[in-house]
């Protein structure tokens, strides 16, 4: 997934609004001291490094607040000059001028929020909390400026008569829509109410994200003896020992928690009591009382979002969100999820019966519980297909996956080449940097690889851009991928799980979307597309992970160099639909929870003490309350819906319809070829948000999407 963190105007108007707060106060003018600070501030001017790559070696914590303060003042002056101009509004003096504004603020906030996610510290967290109301006041001053909106509205009314190209006309339409959705047509009293709501939401959301980082660290499971870890690989045990050492717990072992309800170690740990402890620690996060409990935040955010939607004229927050996505309506999303849920749960129950049979066969003497699923699924997989996933890890070494897998596929499909460089500064020693060269030999982008987990790094995986492509500014992409792979002790190899390899290919699909962007205006750059479309290209890129030519190039034993045996590959392929009932049900559980929270009216929001009851009722109503399969995320640690995926977590499976259909196209047309890659790049990846998303799909595929490939992939077709 991508997080656009700059406070460019498009972001300020709601594309990433949950990251910021709202306040009535105007940003204060910088004092003389602040002005002096800016004289040596690395954000004062664009970076002189290649592609305006951030000067991480010069950027210090103390530079952010002065740069953001000065950036807001500069941006506000630029916007006021546009809004208060006495000459007639034109495309250049209004829309293009807005696109060009706010560059200092953009530079500072892009790096700040990127590091807040990838490499935070107490100082950055404090700055984030302190700057939130100021940044929001700045957003509101722009989005709710009546003179500015009047100029945009006048251009929107005559947009087809201005002689603009298609991208220019769409830019006017997008600005108009952004402003209306941000509340530009509200009266003054309602605007004041909206600002107050935004203020509270941003504060709550900031608190939620900071709670989650601390809660994940606090909830890590501490194990006293190596004997309890029986079943884990030597590499995993070494990583757990290293994690304990980092916490000054020498002699013990620490199993860190990943974002999801399920934890990777559950598939291997033989100690059932430890599995139970690990699972309960995971699903109980931020909902058991104490300093980092998020239940009150979840309830209050849902209530305020419902109130804000009503203020803006929508039935609920989901209706507000979905209007601007490819789904368009709540009904469309509900219908799609309802279409998938019954078959998914039916399959999950069949799978559960197989797991229970395995437990009974081993005379376990207990009923299948959530902490048993992954462990016994691997046993059933081994029995049915004669392999388990632990057999794959020796063939998935970090560098081989990256260079001979991810990069190799991009070379074959698009002609890209990659060269690692060590002369550019990084914000953490684990980060690696690569020059990306296009097929014509010209520099295309700079790519940062940040794959290791850290205590000061948020969970999950994501892509972000430090610099976005724009012909208006003559900029190319500086893009980063972030994963959370446990780092082994020094000198030990980094061996990835199957899912981690898949995630690496997925996130690189987002990176390609940014790198290949070929638009004029920053508003449309790269992944600036609807949320339920943005996952589609990245999901397509996952297909190359197991494409025979790619797999044999990177899946080599880290000790012997021997390629992965074809017999093992055949077993993986044969098991392709294995456990799909579980995987689809846990995903749908989370997606349906998201919709339940965002399809309520304000008075239906529970109090903090009722959050878990609300959750249970929502899952039951949707028919996905199957106890052995908890939702992938429970409400108190569902970070997606505290950010840009509010009412949008359905997007992954919505996008998968397009993805599965596109995979069929690649297969029908010869697979991993430059011709196919160039077609995908030209018709879709390069266009960003400059055209309607579904039209881009049609331009690529030649027709409307077909849901059948998705149903086949997930084993949801009628037997």
- Catalytic residues, by residue number, are 507
Q: Which structure tokens are listed for 301? A: 């955010």
CA atoms 697, 698, 701, 705: torsion sign: positive
Task: Indicate the DSSP class of residue 691.
Answer: S
Separation of alpha carbons 96 and 107, rounded Å: 19
Are 337 and 354 in contact, with CB atoms under 8 Å apart? no
C-alpha 55 chain-centroid distance: 25
- The DSSP result for 342-403, as a single string, is HHHHHHHHHHHHHHHHHHHHTT--S---HHHHHHHHHHHHHHHHS--GGGTGGG-BHHHHII
Instruction: From 82, 49, 64, select the one nearest 7 (Cα to Cα).
Output: 64
- The DSSP result for 303-359, as a single string, is HHHHHHHHHTT-SSHHHHHHTTSSS-SHHHHHHHHHHHHHHHHHHHHHHHHHHHHHH
Separation of alpha carbons 83 and 105, rounded Å: 19
Q: Which structure tokens are listed for 495? A: 């061996």
Compute, in degrees rounded to 10, the torsion defined by CA atoms 118, 123, 124, 126: 130
Angle between helix axes 330-361 and 611-622 (nearest 10 degrees) is 90
Residue with tokens 């020796």: 394
Separation of alpha carbons 401 and 505, rounded Å: 9
Q: Which structure tokens are listed for 259? A: 């974002």
Residue with tokens 């207990």: 366
Residue with tokens 């993805």: 659
Are 663 and 671 in contact, with CB atoms under 8 Å apart? no
Give burial (CB, 10 Å; 0-12/13-18/19+) of 668: exposed
Separation of alpha carbons 693 and 687, rounded Å: 9
- Cβ-based neighbours of 67, under 8 Å, separated by 6 or more: 38, 41, 43, 44, 104, 105, 107, 108
Half-sphere exposure of 122 (CA within 13 A, CB side): 0
Backbone angles phi, psi at 397, to 5 degrees: -85, 140
Quickly count: other Cβ atoms within 10 Å of residue 612's Cβ.
16
Separation of alpha carbons 178 and 13, rounded Å: 6
Q: What angle do CA 55, 68, 522 make, to 5 degrees?
A: 75
The helix/strand count (H/E) of the chain reads as 27, 7
Could you tell me which residues are beta bridge partners of residue 362?
A: none
C-alpha 680 chain-centroid distance: 22
Quickly count: other Cβ atoms within 10 Å of residue 548's Cβ.
12
């Amino acid at each position: 997934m991508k997080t656009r963190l700059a406070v460019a105007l498009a972001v300020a108007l709601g594309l990433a609004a949950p990251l910021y707060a709202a306040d009535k106060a105007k940003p204060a003018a910088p004092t003389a001291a602040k002005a002096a600070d800016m004289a040596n501030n690395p954000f004062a001017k664009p970076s002189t490094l290649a592609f305006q790559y951030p000067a991480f070696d010069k950027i210090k914590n103390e530079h952010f607040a002065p740069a953001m303060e000065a950036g807001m003042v500069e941006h506000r002056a630029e916007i006021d000059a546009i809004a208060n101009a006495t000459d007639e509004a034109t495309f250049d003096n209004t829309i293009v001028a807005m696109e060009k504004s706010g560059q200092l603020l953009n530079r500072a906030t892009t790096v700040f929020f990127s590091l807040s996610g990838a490499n935070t510290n107490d100082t950055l967290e404090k700055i984030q909390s302190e700057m939130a109301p100021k940044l929001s006041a700045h957003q509101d001053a722009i989005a709710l400026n009546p003179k500015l909106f009047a100029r945009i509205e006048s251009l929107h009314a005559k947009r087809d008569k201005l002689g603009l190209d298609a991208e220019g006309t769409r830019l006017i339409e997008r600005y108009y829509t952004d402003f209306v959705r941000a509340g530009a047509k509200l009266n003054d009293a309602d605007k004041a109410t909206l600002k107050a709501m935004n203020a509270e939401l941003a504060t709550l959301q900031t608190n939620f994200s900071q709670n989650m980082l601390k809660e994940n660290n606090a909830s890590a499971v501490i194990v006293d003896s190596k004997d309890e870890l029986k079943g884990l690989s030597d590499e995993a045990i070494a990583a757990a020992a290293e994690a304990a050492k980092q916490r000054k717990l020498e002699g013990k072992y620490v199993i860190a928690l990943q974002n999801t309800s399920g934890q990777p170690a559950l598939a291997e740990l033989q100690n059932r009591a430890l599995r139970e402890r690990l699972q309960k620690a995971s699903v109980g996060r931020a909902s058991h009382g104490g300093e980092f409990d998020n239940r009150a935040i979840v309830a209050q955010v849902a209530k305020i979002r419902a109130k804000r939607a009503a203020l803006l004229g929508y039935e609920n927050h989901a209706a507000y969100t979905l209007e601007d996505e490819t789904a368009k309506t709540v009904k469309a999303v509900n219908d799609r999820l309802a279409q998938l849920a019954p078959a998914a749960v039916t399959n999950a129950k069949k799978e559960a019966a197989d797991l229970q049979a395995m437990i009974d066969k081993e005379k376990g003497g207990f009923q299948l519980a959530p902490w048993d699923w992954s462990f016994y699924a691997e046993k059933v997989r081994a029995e049915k297909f004669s392999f388990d996933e632990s057999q794959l890890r020796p063939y998935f070494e970090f560098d081989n996956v990256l260079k001979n897998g991810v990069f190799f596929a991009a070379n074959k499909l698009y002609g890209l080449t990659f060269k690692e460089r060590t002369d550019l500064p990084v914000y953490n020693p684990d980060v690696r940097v690569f020059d990306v060269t296009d097929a014509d030999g010209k520099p295309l982008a700079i790519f940062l690889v940040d794959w290791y987990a850290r205590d000061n790094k948020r969970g999950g995986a994501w892509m972000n851009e430090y610099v976005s492509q724009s012909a208006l500014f003559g900029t190319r992409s500086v893009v980063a991928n972030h994963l959370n792979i446990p780092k082994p002790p020094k000198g030990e190899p980094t061996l990835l799980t199957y899912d981690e390899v898949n995630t690496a290919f997925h996130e690189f699909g987002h990176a390609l979307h940014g790198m290949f962007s070929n638009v004029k205006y920053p508003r449309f750059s790269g992944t600036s597309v609807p949320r339920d479309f943005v996952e589609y290209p990245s999901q397509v890129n996952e297909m190359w992970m197991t494409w025979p030519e790619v797999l044999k190039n990177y899946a080599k034993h880290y000790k012997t160099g021997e390629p992965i045996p074809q017999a093992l590959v055949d077993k993986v392929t044969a098991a392709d639909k294995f456990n799909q009932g579980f995987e689809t049900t846990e995903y749908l559980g989370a997606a349906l929870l998201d919709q339940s929270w965002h399809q309520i009216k304000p008075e239906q929001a529970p109090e903090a003490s009722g959050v878990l009851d609300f959750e249970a009722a929502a899952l039951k109503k949707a028919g996905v309350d199957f106890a052995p399969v908890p939702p992938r995320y429970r409400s108190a640690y569902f970070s997606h819906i505290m950010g840009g995926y509010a009412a949008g977590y359905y997007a992954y499976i919505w996008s998968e319809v397009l993805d599965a259909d596109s995979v069929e196209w690649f297969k029908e047309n010869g697979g991993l070829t430059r011709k196919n890659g160039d077609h995908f790049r030209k018709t879709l990846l390069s266009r960003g948000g400059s055209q309607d998303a579904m039209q881009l799909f049609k331009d690529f595929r030649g027709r409307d999407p077909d849901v059948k490939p998705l149903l086949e992939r997930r084993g949801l077709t009628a037997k």
